[in-house]
Amino acid sequence: MKTKRHGAVLGLIAAGALLLTACGSDNNAPSAGSTSAAGDSSVPVECGGKSKLSAEGSSAQQNAIATFIQAYQAKCPGSDLAYNASGSGAGVKQFNAGQVDFGGSDSPLSESKGEVAAAAERCKGNPAWNLPLVFGPVALGYKLEGVNDLVLNGEVTAKIFNGGIKKWNDPAIAALNSGASLPDKDIKVVYRSDESGTTDNFQKYLTAASKGAWTQGDGKQFKGGVGEAKEKSAGVAQAAGSVDGAITYVELSFAQDNKLSLAKIDNGSGPVELTNETVGKAIDGATIKGTGNDLVLDLNSIYGSTTAGAYPLLLATYEIVCSKGYDADTAKAVKAFLTVAATTGQDGLADAGYAPLPKAFQDKLLTAVKAIA
């Protein structure tokens, strides 16, 4: 999403309000007229407390976190954050083990896996909150010589990633790409080896959109059973970009950095290119299903959407924090960092490949941050 280099692909700084305004809920949903919160310096930040915070997790948000750190250091001189982009699974584990001050994950804590209970124990008997701070679409990035315009749908994508379709000139792919010259070449799937919220979201999309072709289920571990495994978002994008015939699922900025072509998705209403308008239209139906200040988004409704012109493969990245249970110095610093991230830290997000928060969503997030104790 490097918008200066890829303005034709995603002008998200202009569309941030539209895109994330749609990330509303049935409860106090941001209105269609919400404006971007980028650069809002009017929100007070109480600097101080722990001088160097630690966090770990999602590699999908690492460039956003780097932007937030710069803004934090500028706003609170002498303060810093060390972020280890080890993947969502590791981030949740390290947070729950009390090894880092907050975790980063591309999916919220799972109750069925015991993550919610473990987080409450880590937070001294208090619930952890999932705070969505970073948003962006996931690209189906591929490298295929001579093919720069490719259409896929949920069913065909599922069969590619579970081994049901093995050749680029398979009749099912050809049917979606009338007139295209598709080579008789093996499809080389590249997937995340580490536990990843990107993988979880991708597999949830396949479950919803594949008309039964994906039976492997979801989760942070890839379950397709085919392909080459690589660590982190940068790893899969680099691997796919180095081999003709490769395809992977990865955040847009990583796909662009490695010069991958981007497949259009046909959700049943025609091919949809990944653009600011199509991302905004897809996320329009997202609601917040969490209660109170636990801002868990419900994205399931859009994965299987057949709305014309909607790009349905999206990702929200959460910061996982204790609602209570920090020592005073840590609580103060965590609140300061997240406040900066949600306000002046938004300035550089478009250049880093993400969407700035709109004002109404920022207000909801800041309410939660202020309540951390």
- Give the chain's domain count: 2
Residue 228 lies in a domain: yes
The reply to whether 39 sits in an annotated binding site is: no
Its pTM stands at: 0.69
In a domain, 204, yes or no: yes
Whether residue 226 lies inside any domain: the answer is: yes
pLDDT digits (tens, 9 = 90+) for 90-105: 999 999 999 999 999 9
269 is known to lie in a ligand binding site: no
Residues 177 and 250 in one domain: yes
DSSP secondary structure, 266-300, as one string: E-SSSEE---HHHHHHHGGG-EE-S-TT---EE-H
Q: In whole angstroms, how far apart are CA 236 and each of 133, 194, 233? A: 23, 11, 6
Q: Flag whether pLDDT at 26 surpasses 90.
A: no
Confidence band of 276 (pLDDT split at 50, 70, 90)? low
143 and 103 fall within a common domain: no
Q: What would the pLDDT profile of 344-368 be if each residue is shown by its tens digit?
A: 998 988 777 677 776 777 888 999 9
Residue 9, pLDDT > 70, answer: no
* pLDDT band (50, 70, 90) for residue 12: very low
Please indicate if the annotation marks 347 as binding a ligand: no
Asked whether residue 14 carries a pLDDT value surpassing 60, the answer given is: no
The CATH number of residue 36's host domain is 3.40.190.10
Q: Which of 31, 46, 55, 19 is nearest to 135 (CA)?
A: 19
Determine if residue 197 is labeled as part of a ligand binding site.
Answer: yes
Rounded percentage of the chain residues whose pLDDT exceeds 90 = 69
Report pLDDT digits (tens) over 137-195: 899 999 999 999 999 999 999 999 999 999 999 999 999 999 999 999 999 999 999 98
| Domain match, 250 and 338 both | no
Helix (H/G/I), strand (E/B), else coil: 139: strand
Q: Which of 15-19, 57-61, 306-310, 366-370 has the lowest mean pLDDT?
A: 15-19
Count of C-beta atoms within a 10 Å radius of residue 231? 15
pLDDT score recorded for residue 361: 78
Examine residue 56 and state whether it is found in any structural domain, yes or no.
yes
Residue 196 annotated as part of some ligand binding site: yes
Question: Which tens digit of pLDDT belongs to each residue from 199-229?
Answer: 998 999 999 999 999 999 999 899 999 999 9
Average the pLDDT over each of 18-22, 101-105, 282-286 and give the range with the smallest value. 18-22
Domain containing 249: what range? 137-280
Note the Cα 60 to chain centre separation in Å.
6
Phi, psi values for residue 207, rounded to 5°: -60, -40
Looking at every residue in the chain, the average pLDDT score rounds to: 87
Position 351 scores a pLDDT of 74
Same domain as 174, residue 53: no
Tell me if 97 is assigned to a ligand binding site: no
- Residue 273 confidence (pLDDT) above 90: yes
Assess whether 89 and 123 both reside in one domain: yes
The rounded distance, in Å, linking the Cα atoms of 214 and 216 is: 6
Name the pairing type of β-strands 151-153 and 188-192: unpaired
Do 152 and 107 lie in one domain? The reply is no
Domain stops at, among 222, 254, 280: 280
Domain presence at residue 120: yes
Q: What is the DSSP letter of 108?
A: P
Which of the four pLDDT bands, split at 50, 70 and 90, describes residue 136? confident
Which of these three, 280, 301, 330, is where a domain ends?
A: 280
pLDDT at 16 over 60: no
